[in-house]
Structure 1
């Protein structure tokens, strides 16, 4: 039976401010993460709103809480600005399509892979020429995770959590790894989620489990205090210097500089 290799580890990467003069070009191995600290963008919500199309506006209006509605407007508009920067498309002409597991993609630019995750005050967007998935989580003190363990982790993973000095952080570390990987696969959370490997080291994964024959890497990274993230992408032995992480600027002048220049 065909097996894929999956390498899982921790990645030390520093998030730096995004330069207004950044070049939006992807090499074959580039993995770019863009972080958005949402409270810093709330005063820009009215400026970002016009970048949403009618479908996205209806989706925003379905959020019951105003804070959730505003957060969606912010990270969806910034995602479209980033996609416009990489594709040279006018943001108004960017319409996201969705596969059967509701993973978004651009039918007009199938080479551009992207994924987004949101948790409390942060949103993170991953962009690459490789299939990519990202998950970030707020390490909530109130979240009772114990009842989930038998359903989402195998015996060895539960032992790792139980033997950890920081059980809650270890739970989130392993959870985000699984979540980022299934998002990269476009698989979603299903009955096989429990059997997705997430401990450190190299694993061999059956084709029947992930319905994919490629090799993969998954890395945990620190996002901020009380936030943890994981990034998953195709391939092995990639140069980790090609993974970059940026903080998005919280002013419209710099955000608008991402828009394609009209010739």
Structure 2
């Protein structure tokens, strides 16, 4: 089984006209989600994520098929073997697609006050964190955080389930995760892009990752042109 991972770099600037024009082609639920963001940068990130999804789906699959769980996880109705997840941070938006449940998280790696992160870690993880140099501790923290976040997104719980109930082993040959002390049967893969963005992917079944980077301007231009043909 393969997992498709699509990446798009956020546009430095996107005029309001193009933003509104592209948004109008999205399902009502997604339009409302994008409108709910206060900052324009967040609107653009969300738009690009759903535009990537729109690119890979058939027109009739996408039009009115997106729903949300009670925890806010989006899914495509009546598509048993199509699962997706979207994440964005600063300059990058990522979309993971799989036949099995999947979760993805991307985070921009920046200095943080590690003491304030203790509540997100188990005692064992925090003790390991304190034993590392500051540089290694930050790297370690973001690996833990993205793995936990991708797992929580995969199961559709988000942060409604406390991250400190999850125990990770990021230095194993194959990273693992436990929930309340019970090993979870999932496949986890982690990697970096541009050396400053940490990505973790969590999926029910293992497989090869096929990565494709899309051009944001071309993505919007092609989809707007395609949509206008249907009008």
Same fold (TM over 0.5): yes
Give the secondary-structure state (helix, strand or coil) at the position aligned to 1:159: helix
Number of equivalent positions:
220
- CA spacing shift, 1:157–1:48, aligned 2, 3 Å: same
TM-aligned CA deviation for residue 47 of structure 1 = 5.1
Inter-partner Cα distance in structure 1 for 2:64 and 2:12: 25
The equivalent residue for 1:78 is 52
- Provide TM-score, normalisation by structure 1: 0.72
Matches within 5 A, 1:208-247: 215-235=185-205, 238-239=206-207, 242-247=208-213
CA contact (8 A) 1:51 1:92 kept: no
Please say if residues 8 and 93 of structure 2, whose CA atoms lie closer than 8 Å, have aligned partners that are also in contact: yes
Choose 30-39 or 58-67, whichever is displaced more.
58-67
Alpha-carbon distance, 1:102 to partner: 1.6
Q: Specify the SS of the correspondent of 1:36.
A: strand
2: distance between equivalents of 1:169 and 1:257? 42
Give the equivalent residue in structure 2 for 1:144.
113
Paired residues for 1:52-71 under 5 Å:
52-71=26-45
Aligned CA distance change for structure 1 residues 33 and 191 (closer, same or farther; 3 Å): closer
Counterparts of 1:144-183 in structure 2 under 5 Å? 144-149=113-118, 151-165=119-133, 166-183=136-153
Alpha-carbon separation, structure 1, partners of 2:131 and 2:225: 49
Map of 1:10 onto structure 2: none
- Quote the Cα distance in structure 2 between the aligned partners of 1:230 and 1:198: 12
Distance verdict in 2 for CA 1:92–1:232, change over 3 Å: closer
Greater RCO, CA 8 A, separation 6+: 1
Residue of structure 2 equivalent to 1:103: 73
- Give deviations 1:84-123, integer Å, cap 9, x for gaps: 1xxx233762431112222111112121010011111111
Structure 2: stretches of 5+ with no match in the other structure: none
Deviations, residues 5-51 of structure 1 (Å, cap 9, x unaligned): xxxxxxxxxxxxxxxxxxxxxxxx11111111012673663553232
Alpha carbons 2:187, 2:203 under 8 Å: kept: yes
Q: CA separation in 2, counterparts of 1:92 and 1:111?
A: 15
Which digits, 9 at most, give the CA deviation of each residue in 1:166-196, with x for residues without a partner?
Answer: 2112111111011111111122224542131
TM-score normalized with structure 2 length: 0.81
- Secondary structure of 1:180's counterpart equals helix
Unaligned runs of 5+ in 1: 1-28
Q: Deviations over 1:217-256 (max 9, x none)?
A: 1121112232111000113xx45xx211111123156657
Displaced runs of 4+ in structure 1, greater than 6 A? 256-259
Q: CA RMSD in A?
A: 3.0
Counterpart Cα distance in 2 of 1:97 and 1:41: 29
Aligned equivalents of 2:51, 2:203: Cα separation in 1? 24
